[in-house]
Amino acid sequence: MKIAAIALWLIHQAASAKAESNVTDIDFMFPLAEGIDGSLVDTMNGMVDAFNKENPDIVVTPIYAGSYADEYAKVLARVAEGNPPAVAVTNLYTLPELASLNMIIPLNEYVKASGGEDYLNQFYSAMFRNAVVQEGDYIEGFPMMRSTPVLYYNQDMLDEKNISVPTTWEELADAASELTTDTVKGLGIPDNWQDWIFGAFSSQAGSQLIEDDWTTVTFDSTGNTAALNAWNEMARKGSMTVPLTSWSTAITDFSEGKFAMLYFTTGGITTAKQSAPFNWSCAFCPAGPNGFGVEEGGGDFHIFNNIPKAKQDAAWKLIYFLTNPENAAIWSAATGYIAVNKGAYETELMKEAVKETPQRLVAKDQMESYSHAQTMSVDIQNVRTVFKNNIAAVVDGTKTVDQAQTAGQEGASAFIESWILLQSMTATGSAASSLTMGYNLILAGILGVVGAYVL
């Protein structure tokens, strides 16, 4: 009997070991966007737990890696070490670097196997502007969360002064001036993402910060001159926040009545709903001389190169699961982001969420009608720093519009040109090794620090 029991135990152990060997473990890196509430970790953990239960042959470990910028730096560090995650959600602006350095794989075959065009039609076509590498139409990102800037406004403050919600730059400037008091600023514009909000003004003036080729800087365009002048005039009149208000506290400050109006992401809707003790709502960003326009924002899934095919397959299963109508609804309802799957808005959860907070539809409608791709380029962190610093300098009054445009144009162009030169010297195209990638990333970082100091 004892021998038989031992034999059964050995068989059980062997079976368990075999079962464990058939389990695919993957890391899933995810950002915690600054200034956004909505219990992101709890919500995502719940969806990942559901996936793991539904797929016993896969174990997903979520890794919450801080802000978009912090998380992206950690992703790059893992790639440089030769230990990339299987899948990560990174900000839309990261695509040019990830694709150019061959760090991620095209998703076209996975999309085809999932239904091709019929499958893609579940999603908003606008969301793929920052996900497709145009040369070859490679889908190298897949939508996870989307936002646009929207204009939050305190309806009670507007009603008190009989002011309509502004729909043009001129109306915005007039309203901001009339709503400003000793204790309230008419308009709040936050820092850290001021280049993204400014991108809306740029598109409303018929321009952009960088052309769609990812390399041609247009910060010194006449459209951007008009946009910077609009900010400068409000700043000099004292009707907008000077310096730019903190992104991390902006939606809370709005909810506390410190601004009558605020440009912010739709991802702040949950916090406003929970915190604001007054009547508030959201509107399209007011139109400029070229009409309405905004940049999209948010994050995309990417599956990484140089990992086993089994991990890549498991990563796609996770993407497919998290973007189905039910989970897209869960994420949108919890955070305020636009649901990436159209079917999400047909679920009972989203119908109830929209009924309770109809402001959720403002960004979706704005995205469908007037959005453009988020500004992207190589060496994007340094390029964004140049743009942000010079936009802020105009608001602060430390640079004229002309000085800021010249510095922004030259500084961003220099970073992009240096990055391209570096790749031409060290990269080997699609066959780039992990060692080469690591060298490129480290050297690019060194050049970035030096360049930022010089420029």
Average pLDDT by stretches of 10, the chain with 455 residues: 49 45 93 65 95 98 93 96 97 96 97 97 96 86 97 98 98 98 98 98 98 96 98 98 96 97 94 95 98 97 98 98 98 94 98 97 97 96 97 98 98 96 70 44 46 42
Q: Is residue 10 part of a domain?
A: no
Looking at the fold, whether 186 and 277 belong to one and the same domain comes out as: yes
Looking at the fold, whether 169 and 280 belong to one and the same domain comes out as: yes
pLDDT value for 2: 52
- pTM value is 0.89
Looking at the fold, whether 277 and 387 belong to one and the same domain comes out as: yes
Q: Is residue 19 part of a domain?
A: no
pLDDT value for 302: 98
pLDDT value for 137: 86
Looking at the fold, whether 352 and 430 belong to one and the same domain comes out as: no
All residues at 6 or more sequence positions from 186 whose CB lies less than 8 Å from its CB, including other chains: 175, 176, 177, 178, 179, 180, 239, 240, 259, 260, 261
pLDDT value for 449: 43
Looking at the fold, whether 266 and 330 belong to one and the same domain comes out as: no
Looking at the fold, whether 117 and 169 belong to one and the same domain comes out as: no
Q: Is residue 3 part of a domain?
A: no
**CA torsion sign, 58 to 69 to 374 to 132?**
negative
Looking at the fold, whether 158 and 281 belong to one and the same domain comes out as: yes
pLDDT value for 234: 98
State the residue range of the domain holding 436.
414-454
Looking at the fold, whether 175 and 270 belong to one and the same domain comes out as: yes
pLDDT value for 3: 55
Q: Is residue 367 part of a domain?
A: no
Looking at the fold, whether 277 and 307 belong to one and the same domain comes out as: no
Instruction: Please name which of 454, 263, 250, 449 lies closest in space to residue 366, comparing C-alpha atoms.
Output: 263
Q: Is-contact 250 264, C-beta < 8 A? A: yes
Q: Is residue 7 part of a domain?
A: no
Q: Is residue 1 part of a domain?
A: no
pLDDT value for 36: 52
Domain count, the chain: 3
Distance CA 325, CA 119 (A): 12
Question: Which amino acid type is present at position 294?
Answer: V
Instruction: Please name which of 139, 100, 267, 97 lies closest in space to residue 196, comparing C-alpha atoms.
Output: 267
Q: Is residue 6 part of a domain?
A: no
Instruction: Please name which of 22, 27, 20, 24 lies closest in space to residue 48, comparing C-alpha atoms.
Output: 27
Decide: helix, strand or coil at residue 187. Answer: strand
For the record, the structure tokens of 273 come out as 């709903």
Q: Which pairing describes strands 87-91 and 24-30: parallel, antiparallel, or unpaired?
A: parallel
Here the CATH number for the domain that contains residue 242 is 3.40.190.10
Question: Which amino acid type is present at position 246?
Answer: S
pLDDT value for 451: 47
Looking at the fold, whether 117 and 80 belong to one and the same domain comes out as: yes
Looking at the fold, whether 124 and 202 belong to one and the same domain comes out as: no
pLDDT value for 277: 98
Looking at the fold, whether 290 and 301 belong to one and the same domain comes out as: no
Distance CA 215, CA 453 (A): 22
Q: Is residue 12 part of a domain?
A: no
